[in-house]
Amino acid sequence: MAKANAAPMTAKVHETARAHMAIAVHEPKVGYGEKLILENLAFTIESGERVAILGRSGAGKSTLLNLIYAKCAPQAALVPQAHALVRTLSVFHNVYMGQLDRHSTWRNLRTLIVPNAVQKAEVEAILSLVGLSEFLFTPTGALSGGQQQRVSVARALYSQRPILVADEPISALDQSQGDRLLTALRQSCDTLVIALHDVRLALAHATRIIALDKGMVWLDAPANTLQWHDLAPLYETSA
C-alpha cells in the first residue's frame, strides 16, 4: 500500500510548489534584543533552488533559518533541530499534524481516535520515503533519536508546502542514511533551505552554498563550483 501511494503524494508536493515566489533576505542587522547575531544579509533564494547553509556552531545558521522561515511561513514547512514531536503519540499522529491546519477540529479529533484508510495510506506513503513505514503506529517516544528526526522530516513533507526549511535534519544519522534522506527531500520538494554539518553531503545535494562566519555571509556560490578545500577554511580554528 505504501509504495502504491508514495508517487501520488510526491506529485502533490510538486504541483503545489509551482506557485511560490522567491525569498528575499535583505536585513542590515538580525539579533535578539541588543545581541547582534547576523548583519549585512542581502540575497534572494529563487524557486527551485536547494540551498545548504554551512558554518561552525554558533555562526548563526539557526537564526538565519528562522528568519527565512518567517518570511515564507505560509508556504514553508519547518523541520526544527529539536524535532518538536509529541512523544506520547504515534508516528502516524505526529506526521498527520503536518496538515492539522487544513482540516476542521472535528475531523482532527476523529482522526486522533480512528484514522481512516485514506489518511493511513497517505501517511504511510510519506513514511516510506524516509524509511519508517513499519513504525506507523509506534509511539514516537519509543524511537531512536535518528528515527525521531526522520519523523519530523516526514511531518514536514506531509504538509505539502512548496518550501522546506530544515535545521540540521540529518545530524543524528550516519552519512549513508543522511544521503538517502537528502535524496528523498530533493525528489519530494521544490525548494530546500537546509542547515547542514556535513560539507560533502552539502556539495552533493545542494545547488547553492551559503556559508556563515563571524555573523556575516562568508561565501555564497553555486555548489557545482566548489570543492571541499574551498570550504575547509570555514572550519579551521582561529589562532
- CA-CA distance, 173 to 145, in Å (whole number)? 9
- 192-230 pLDDT, tens digit per residue, is 999 999 999 999 999 999 999 999 999 999 999 999 999
Question: For the domain with range 2-235, which CATH number is right: 3.40.50.2300, 3.50.30.10, 3.40.350.10, 3.40.50.300?
Answer: 3.40.50.300
**pTM as predicted:** 0.86
Question: What pLDDT sits at residue 20?
Answer: 63
Domain ranges, ordered by start, for the chain: 2-235
Is pLDDT at 78 greater than 90 in this prediction? yes
List the single range of 17-21, 86-90, 151-155, 199-203 with lowest mean pLDDT. 17-21
Is pLDDT at 11 greater than 60 in this prediction? no
| Helix ranges restricted to H, the chain | 2-17, 61-72, 91-96, 105-113, 117-129, 145-158, 175-188, 199-205, 228-231
